[in-house]
Amino acid sequence: MNAIISASQLESDLAGQNPPVLLDVRWQLSVARAAGEPPFDGRAAYEAGHLPGAVYVDLDRELAGAPGAGGRHPLPDVAEFGAAMRRAGVSSGTPVVAYDGGQGWAAARAWWLLRWTGHPDVRVLDGGLTAWEGALETAAPVSVAPGDFEPVPGAVGLLDADGAAALARSGVLFDARAGERYRGEVEPIDPVGGHIPGAVSAPTTQNVGTDGRFLPTEELAARFKGLGAAEGADVGVYCGSGVSGAHEVLALAVAGIPAALYVGSWSQWSSDPERPVAVGADPQ
């Protein structure tokens, strides 16, 4: 099964006999709050225009638990996540397509959670809303028939802090954040800059072209193999709080490389002063 879908293929599927459920996961990492600016309002963006029939999903409330010891976007309560997906019309026998404003991070978080909890057919709209050339609607769906999806965690790889540390030594652990955050030159959000010792810098922004769509499969595979993800290697990913990292796991899936996600990521790792921190371009 492909992990992504083009806008043209989605348009065709929506007109077919088994149209997918559409999840609108508009979200942005807001560092503007420190400057006194209001945070991004995903629901307002949804109400201003969304794919016909799409249901809005709130990343902070429905795709993550409350910030705390588990990081800024820890795993949501599984039962609550399942209830949110059923409210959105998600069923195990119905395909799902998630999209966001174009960056792809939030949609990938929904994709990863649904895959982790066992949904067999979920994809991300490649390029997000900006790739869609059809009409948009501003009204919410009149009614959404509840789905029957029952989440069963464990279908894909999940790492905790200790597992991420071990994988950085025994396999390949990719850091999906910007290079300057990896190197510790700047850290706008978390307590300290740097990276998990042994992790390899692999910014997720380099997995897409200028149009926000994923690079061709062959290019992605070559990139990751060049960074150490040789055939048979155990691969994991982390980022700041398990959102852009999900996008990197998605890129790896497009390249045919399975990878586990450390959801707590740097927001959890850096909050524990006992955990080591590496700085600079050298993974160690």
**Residue of 239, 253, 257, 260 marked catalytic:** 239
Q: Write out the two tokens for 278.
A: 């590496």
Beta strands (DSSP E) in 51-118 are 55-56, 96-99
Beginning with the edge strand found earlier in the chain, give each strand of the sheet holding 172-175 in spatial order: 158-159, 260-262, 235-238, 172-175, 200-201
Cβ atoms < 10 Å from Cβ of 49: 13
d(C-alpha 206, C-alpha 47), whole Å: 31
d(C-alpha 165, C-alpha 276), whole Å: 10
Place of tokens 């969304």: 50
Q: How far is the CA of 24 from the CAs of 20, 44, 101, 129, 190, in angstroms? A: 13, 12, 9, 9, 28
* DSSP structural state of residue 157: -
Q: How far is the CA of 76 from the CAs of 12, 67, 118, 207, in angstroms? A: 33, 10, 15, 27
239 is catalytic: yes
* Residues labelled catalytic: 239
